[in-house]
Amino acid sequence: MIREFQRDDINKVADIWLDTNIKAHNFIPAEYWKSNFKSVKEALLLAEVYVYEYDKVCVFKKLFADLFHLF
């Protein structure tokens, strides 16, 4: 089910963001992504975000004006 992001989703969504970026950008030290983790969590709380849920949050989409990011 696709639904609007809820505050309770923040830890799972942020973990997906971190894991995805570390794997997708393995040429960038993982510490870079980890050092941005807190600010990303804060930004997610202010953004328009949707999650796909199948017993748990599996993926999320963050909308940026005319663009979107899918993780």
Average pLDDT per 10 consecutive residues for the chain, totaling 71 residues: 89 92 96 94 87 69 52 52
pLDDT for res 51 = 84
Query: Could you give the CA distance from residue 44 to residue 47 in angstroms, rounded to a whole number?
Result: 5
- The parent domain of residue 38 ranges over 2-70
User: What is the pTM (predicted TM-score) of this model?
Assistant: 0.77
**What pLDDT score was predicted for residue 25?**
95
* Burial environment of residue 50 by CB neighbours within 10 A (0 to 12, 13 to 18, 19 or more): middle
pLDDT at 66: 47
Domain count, the chain: 1
